[in-house]
Amino acid sequence: MNMNKKLIAIDLDGTTLNAQSQISPKTEAILKKAVASGHIVSIATGRPFRISEKFYHQLALNTPMVNFNGALVHVPYTQWAAESETLFSRDIVFEILKQKNDLQLDFVAAENRDTFYVDRLDFGSEYLFDNQKPTNDNLLQNLKSNPTSMLIQTKTELAQTVSDTLKAQFSDYIDVRTWGGPNAILEIVAKGIQKARGVEIIADSMAIDRNDIIAFGDEHNDLEMLDYAGWGVAMKNASPEAKAISNDITSKTNDEDGLADYLEKYLAI
């Protein structure tokens, strides 16, 4: 097997994280072993940095990472020449806020790397609003800059309709992505943003050939990345679409250390 230096791009939810939203000791150990063997591990997630930062620390990474599904590609805490942040107009946020009742949204939040605003705090789980004091109830007054991402929540049975409605209205400007998980959370980013683009920026910056990228994912927002990577691996618990587009499928789920198990064999570590 060709054992050049690999760029290992890992999705978090449903992939690297178990059902408790944690990186298990085994997964942590194998990923650290991969790094010690000279490979590069990069997180590629739909999550903002504020709710993926702890995993970056846990894995002791210093590599570039992808947040907001590719809208932010950065090396945390560092000036990096290849950094990329893609914003969209805050007018879209205000327009969606106006339609909040018609669309039956629970909350509307907008953020970029430095700011996070939500129109009501009482609806947010700790998980979503895990942050230095997001400002309550005044998204309208506070949002002075263009956001990188918006999060909105609706009922599961309405998610597709809301997504279709917003795509139709703002088709030239934004893409709408669904988050995995129990709540119907939709993420809105600038048009054309997806994880594959973020991973490509990282690979180019490190002079890694596309064939030396191995990517792990499970959901709709991983499809392009799984397709782009030289070796795309879908989790056993992945969506049928993710499995169909991948080169291989793990034999265990995210709750059984499927990623670690696969990587240990693949890299022979």
Residue at which a domain ends, from 131, 158, 189:
189
Please tell me which residue, 3 or 1, carries the higher pLDDT value.
Answer: 3
Ranges assigned E (strand) in 145-269? 149-154, 174-178, 184-190, 213-217, 231-234, 248-249
The string of pLDDT tens digits covering residues 113-139 is 878 888 887 765 656 776 555 555 567
CATH number at residue 104: 3.30.1240.10
| pTM: predicted TM-score of the whole model, two decimal places | 0.91
pLDDT at 127: 60
Average pLDDT over residues 233-254: 98
**Do the domain assignments include residue 201?**
yes
| Catalytic residue flag (residue 222) | no
**Do the domain assignments include residue 174?**
yes
The string of pLDDT tens digits covering residues 28-53 is 999 999 999 999 999 999 988 988 99
Structural domain total, the chain: 2
Q: Are residues 25 and 109 in the same domain?
A: no
pLDDT at 256: 98
What is the sign of the dihedral through the CA atoms of 240, 246, 247 and 251? negative
pLDDT at 113: 83
**Do the domain assignments include residue 14?**
yes
Cα separations in angstroms, 68 against 82, 91, 105, 142, 158 = 17, 19, 20, 21, 22
Q: Are residues 103 and 62 in the same domain?
A: no
Q: Are residues 57 and 98 in the same domain?
A: no
Q: Are residues 198 and 174 in the same domain?
A: no
Q: Are residues 171 and 96 in the same domain?
A: yes
Q: Are residues 44 and 64 in the same domain?
A: yes
The string of pLDDT tens digits covering residues 132-189 is 555 555 677 788 899 999 999 998 889 999 999 999 999 999 999 877 666 788 999 9
User: Catalytic: which of 11, 13, 175, 212?
Assistant: 11
The string of pLDDT tens digits covering residues 187-232 is 999 999 999 999 999 999 999 999 999 999 999 899 999 999 999 9
Parent domain of 79: 7-85+193-267
CATH number at residue 15: 3.40.50.1000
